[in-house]
Amino acid sequence: MEEQEKIILDVSDFEISYEPIETEFTKQIPAHLEEEVGELVELVTTDPRTALKKIEKMLREYPNLAIARNYQVNAYHRLGETEKAARLAEENYEKFPEYLFAKTSYAMMCMEKGETNRVPAVFDYQFDLTRIYPKRRIFHISEYLSFTGVISLYHSQLGENRIAKRYYKMMKKTDPTHPITRRVKRLISPFSMFRLKYRLGV
């Protein structure tokens, strides 16, 4: 257990921001699509079918737009098309293995399929954001919560409930009302552990 305790994130090593952060993947977004891509965050949740139409139009012109492809996964999952969402999540991870949301979506898919043992490799056997991305010291709130949430669920699936709760408490301390924090709370409960029906998508 002592070794496992060492993997708990130390948020003093990095900053968490609510402001947009420039990464190699946000730089892919064409200037004329920035506003439309920004609107997808809410639209995927409120109207996934309309979101999907917008996303697929974008991808016809920009097929390698990683952020749009991630929203595509989330939209299909919201529509209940879980097999298609899982296939796309795996494709995105293979295509963009360094994209954090491709990692978290694929890790969720692995757990949903009962392949929890594959999760550590998705994150290069590192459960620390600064080790996965050593050149970064600022992460967006959605990046932090998605990553931490997946790691919490991973330990919950292994029956390591004390560690799972510690990760959840870090999320709760950072932003207790965020949808991802609330979703993880539901999923690590004893009644939800065996069913990962919800997505950590943002």
pTM higher than 0.95 for the full model? no
Q: By C-alpha distance, which of 91, 74, 94 is closest to 82?
A: 74
Dist. CA 197–CA 7, nearest whole Å: 26
Q: What is the pLDDT of residues 140-180, one digit of tens each?
A: 999 999 999 999 999 999 999 999 999 999 999 999 999 99
Q: What is the pLDDT of residue 65?
A: 96
Q: What is the pLDDT of residue 13?
A: 79
Q: Is the pLDDT of residue 47 over 90?
A: yes
Q: Which two tokens stand for residue 19?
A: 């402001």
Percentage of the chain beyond pLDDT 90 is 81
Q: Residue type for 167, please?
A: Y
Query: Which of 8-12, 77-81, 164-168 is predicted with the least confidence, judged by mean pLDDT?
Result: 8-12
Which residue in the block uniquely carries the two structure tokens 């999540």?
Answer: 89
Using the 8-state DSSP alphabet, how is residue 8 labeled? S
What does the pLDDT average to over 75-90? 94
